[in-house]
Amino acid sequence: MLRGVNGLCDGCVHQKRIVSGKGSTFSMCLRSRWDARYPKYPRLPVTDCEGYEPATRTEPADPFDATRTTPSPSGR
């Protein structure tokens, strides 16, 4: 099931969009940080992925993401 231009990544909680200084957009898989089976920048569009988890949250999946706008549960 394709969800958007980047396939499953566009609807996955593990996706982080990266915009280069020249304006190019890349889809980074945050799951690659702890699971070597997933490439950091997968070939798009991704049509099948065992690690796909539907994004149901509005905040980034990465708790260390500098763009996070809501405070962490610990208040830090």
The pLDDT score that the predictor gives to residue 58 is 58
Residues of the chain with pLDDT under 50: 1, 66-72
The pLDDT score that the predictor gives to residue 59 is 54
The pLDDT score that the predictor gives to residue 74 is 53
The pLDDT score that the predictor gives to residue 44 is 92
The per-residue b/e assignment along 4-29, b for 16 or more CB within 10 angstroms, e otherwise, is eebbbbbbbbbbbeeeeeeeeeebbb
